[in-house]
Amino acid sequence: MFCGSAWAPSALLGHCKHVHPDMKRDADAQSKLNEVVLEYEIVSEVDLPEFNGIPIEGLMEYKDGLICRAPGCNYACRKASVMDKHWSQSHRSSRVPVQDRHHTGVVQCFFTGTCQRYFAVNPSLKEVDAEGLYATFIRDYLPSLPPLQMLPPDTYREVPPLLAHTGWNLHLDTFVTDDVKRKALVASAIRPLDSEKDALYGQLHDWVFEYMDSIRDIAQHKVPYTLLRYILQYPW
């Protein structure tokens, strides 16, 4: 928690000795650590978290991360030379220009040293309903969109081009300074619970599909007939 990194049990005490020399250690620190490792089944390797998901609490967030753009690839690192090596090994047949092979973003890493494996995270998902529409959009859909080729603002007072075009800063002006209105707006977009937990709105999923089926039936069988009837009734 001091340095925002995780260490394998075999390297933890050595790390504390060299980086945190002021920390007090008992003579039997190693045996106590071994007991903790056995009791809680602490491992030295972990699977990477969900790509572009919520940051892992306690780990350092690096804003200079490089995230691979190859379809279906979740590789991340912090050096251009490492990313180039990754492409030469994993995407050798690709003809993507060098400047389009990765984009910058926030990354984290569980273990330092030889076991470094960075993974992309999205800090905007903090304190957001993991099953809500916003989190679903950010996590599942947004990474598939190509980046917008827009120039960054020249000064911190300048409104970014996309925001200036959409006008959302003006539309949401009152929500920025009003915490109650902002929370109400977020709550309005939260996906309802399933029917077992919410007897009323939990049926929304079925209602939507029933509505879509009805609209499809009308479009296929009723609209052409209605138009034909009007044409026959008003031939001019």
Per-residue pLDDT tens digits for 212-224: 888 888 877 777 7
Query: Distance (Å, rounded) from C-alpha 192 to C-alpha 133?
Result: 10
| Residues 167-212 pLDDT 10s | 888 888 888 888 898 888 877 777 777 777 777 777 887 888 888 8
In degrees and rounded to multiples of 5, residue 181 shows phi and psi of -65, -35
Angle between helices 29-40 and 9-19 (to 10 degrees): 140
| Residues contacting 125, CB < 8 A, separation 6+ | 53, 54, 55, 135, 138, 139
Predicted local confidence at residue 44, as pLDDT: 78
Greatest mean pLDDT range, 37-41, 167-171, 227-231: 37-41
pTM score above 0.75:
no
For the residues 126-152, what does the mean pLDDT come to?
73
